[in-house]
Amino acid sequence: MGEGPILAVFTLAVCDTVAWKKKSVFGLIPVPGGAPETPGTAPPGGGLMKLSYVVHSQTTPGDLMSWPLGSSQDGEPLKILVDTGSSNFAVAGAPHSYIDSSSTYRSKGFDVTVKYTQGSWTGFVGEDVVTIPKGFNSSFLVNIATIFESENFFLPGIKWNGILGLAYAALAKPSSSLETFFDSLVAQAKIPNVFSMQMCGAGLPVAGSGTNGGSLVLGGIEPSLYKGDIWYTPIKEEWYYQIEILKLEIGGQSLNLDCREYNADKAIVDSGTTLLRLPQKVFNAVVEAVARTSLIPEFSDGFWTGSQLACWTNSETPWSYFPKISIYLRDENSSRSFRVTILPQLYIQPMMGAGLNYECYRFGISPSTNALVIGATVMEGFYVIFDRARKRVGFAASPCAEMAGAPVSEISGPFSTDDIASNCVPALPLNEPILWIVSYALMSVCAVILLILIVLLLLPFPCRQLPRDPEVVNDESSLVRHRWK
C-alpha cells in the first residue's frame, strides 16, 4: 500500500453545507434559446417533451432542473425539486401565496403532510391548470398542494419553491387515490408512460458556481442523450422505483455478501437523493474495501462518515488513489446481469471554498437504515430511463459523464447469475395503506367475535342436573358460584 499526498482534514458541520440534505434540487430557470425539439421515440400523436436544466450556485451539481412550469406572484420562475423518490406535487404557499396568484386554483378541502428522510411539510390540497409551453404547448389539470408549514425542508441557502414527485401513486399522500402529476400528464396528453433524465455534474465542485447541463424527457427517450446500448432491470415493486441489486465490487473484487443484504429492505433509484446510500452492513464493507484498496495509508473515520473533508494541494487530484465501484443489476432475462461502474470522480466529490491553498473532497457514499439508494452520485454517470409502461429502469452511458475527454462511468454485460440466488429481494414490508387495511380488518373481526361471546354469555341456557359425585367440586363449593349474578 503506497503513500498518498493527503495534506489536511477539515471538519464539517452538517448545517454548513446544503450537500447534506436528503433531497437534491431542480430549478426552474429558463435556458437561453430553449431545448431543441426532437421527435424522440414517442409514437405519432403522443408527443415527446424535452426540458433542459442548469445548475446554479449554492447547490449540488446535477441537482437543479430548469422547467418553465409557471411563475410565482412576483413573476419569477418557480424552482421545483424533481424527485423520483416521492409522489406529491407541491409549491410554497408563503410568502408569495400561490393560491392568491392563481385564478384557476380550486381547493379540495383537506390538508396533507409529507415526511422525508430529512424534513417535512404540510399543505392544502387542491387542483390547478399547469401550462407546459415546450413540446406540448398546452395546459393540464393536476393535483397540487400549497405548503403553509414545513420543517427542515426549505433549507438555508436553497432557493427552490416546491417539489415534483415522479414516483408511483402508492407513495402519494394522503392516499394513493390522489392522482400524481405524471399520471395526469400521461392521461391527458396521451404520452407514453415513460420519462428519462440525464444528470450532469461529474467532478464539478459541490456548492459551486457555473452551469452544467442535463435533460428531463417526459414521454420517451432522447437518442442524443446516451451512447451505446440501454440495459434494463425490472421494477420489482411499483411504489418507489425498486430494483434488484445482485452484488457490489470494489476495485474488481466482490464484497461477498449475501445478495439480500444489498436489498434490505429495498433498493431504489432516487433522483432526489444526493449520495449513494447503502445499508449499514454494506456501507461498512464498502468503506473497509475502499480503504484497503486505496493508496492512502490512513484515513480519519470522519471522512467516511461525512463529518470531515480530505484535502490535497490545488495542483493535485486524489482520484487516482481510489478504486472503481461496480453495482450489478439483474437483467430482464433473470439468468443474466449487467453492471454499472462509477469511477472515483463520481464518489470522491470536490467541495467549493473549503480552503485557499487546498482542494477538499467529501466521500459521496453514506449509510442508510432502510434502503440502498442509487442517488445523484451514481445517476450523474448515466442516462436513466424510467419505463413505467414495461415495469423497468434502464441505464446507458451518458455523454456528459466525462472529464478531460475520458469517461467517469462504465456499463457492461451480460454476466451469468448462476452463482447468485434466484431472488435477492427480501419479503416486502407492508406499506402504509395496506397496514391500515389489515389493521381495520383485524379490529372488525375482533369486534364481531367479542360481540358473539358477550351474547352467548348473557343468553340463558337450560341446565340439566347431573348426579352428584362427592369427589367432584360442585356448584355449592365452587369459588365461581353465582359469578353472573
How high is the pLDDT of residue 20?
A: 26
What average pLDDT does the structure give for the chain?
76
How high is the pLDDT of residue 203?
A: 65
* pLDDT mean over 28-34: 27
DSSP 8-state code for residue 46:
T
CA distances from 196 to 12, 40, 169, 375 (A): 34, 12, 18, 15
- pLDDT at 7 > cutoff 80: no
Confidence of residue 362 (pLDDT cuts 50, 70, 90): very high
CA distances from 218 to 87, 91, 388 (A): 16, 20, 12
Confidence of residue 5 (pLDDT cuts 50, 70, 90): very low
> Residue holding cell 399547469?
130
How high is the pLDDT of residue 473?
A: 34
Q: 407: which residues sit within 8 A by CB, 6+ positions away?
A: 343, 397, 401
- pLDDT at 181 > cutoff 80: yes
Q: Which of 83, 128, 331, 387 is catalytic?
A: 83
What is the per-residue pLDDT across 294-310, written as a single tens digit (0 to 9) for each?
877 677 888 999 888 88
Confidence of residue 31 (pLDDT cuts 50, 70, 90): very low
Q: 226: which residues sit within 8 A by CB, 6+ positions away?
A: 198, 382, 383, 396, 397, 398, 399
* pLDDT mean over 93-117: 75
What is the percent of the chain where pLDDT is above 90? 45
Confidence of residue 437 (pLDDT cuts 50, 70, 90): low
The helix or strand, by DSSP H or E, that contains position 186, with its residue range, turns out to be helix 181-189
Q: Is 258 a catalytic residue?
A: no
How high is the pLDDT of residue 145?
A: 93
What is the per-residue pLDDT across 370-395, written as a single tens digit (0 to 9) for each?
899 999 999 999 999 999 999 999 99
Could you state, in order of their start, the residue ranges of all structural domains in the chain?
51-191, 194-430
The helix or strand, by DSSP H or E, that contains position 92, with its residue range, turns out to be strand 89-92
Q: Which of 63, 270, 331, 387 is catalytic?
A: 270
Name the region of 224 (left: φ>0; alpha: ψ -120 to 50; beta: rest).
alpha
- pLDDT at 397 > cutoff 80: yes
Dihedral of CA atoms 248, 167, 230, 214 in degrees, nearest 10, equals: -100
Please determine, looking at this structure, whether the domain spanning 51-191 carries the CATH number 2.40.70.10. yes
Confidence of residue 453 (pLDDT cuts 50, 70, 90): confident
What is the percent of the chain where pLDDT is above 70? 69
Q: Which CATH superfamily is domain 194-430 in?
A: Acid Proteases (2.40.70.10)
Q: What own/partner pairs with CB < 8 Å and gap ≥ 24 does 303-307 have?
A: 303/9, 303/362, 303/363, 304/363, 306/12, 306/20, 306/362, 306/363, 306/366, 307/11, 307/12, 307/14
Confidence of residue 458 (pLDDT cuts 50, 70, 90): confident
How high is the pLDDT of residue 250?
A: 96
DSSP 344-384: HHHHEEEETTS-SSEEEEEE-EEEESS-EEE-HHHHTTEEE
Q: Is 83 a catalytic residue?
A: yes
- Same topology between domain 51-191 and domain 194-430: yes
- pLDDT at 484 > cutoff 70: no
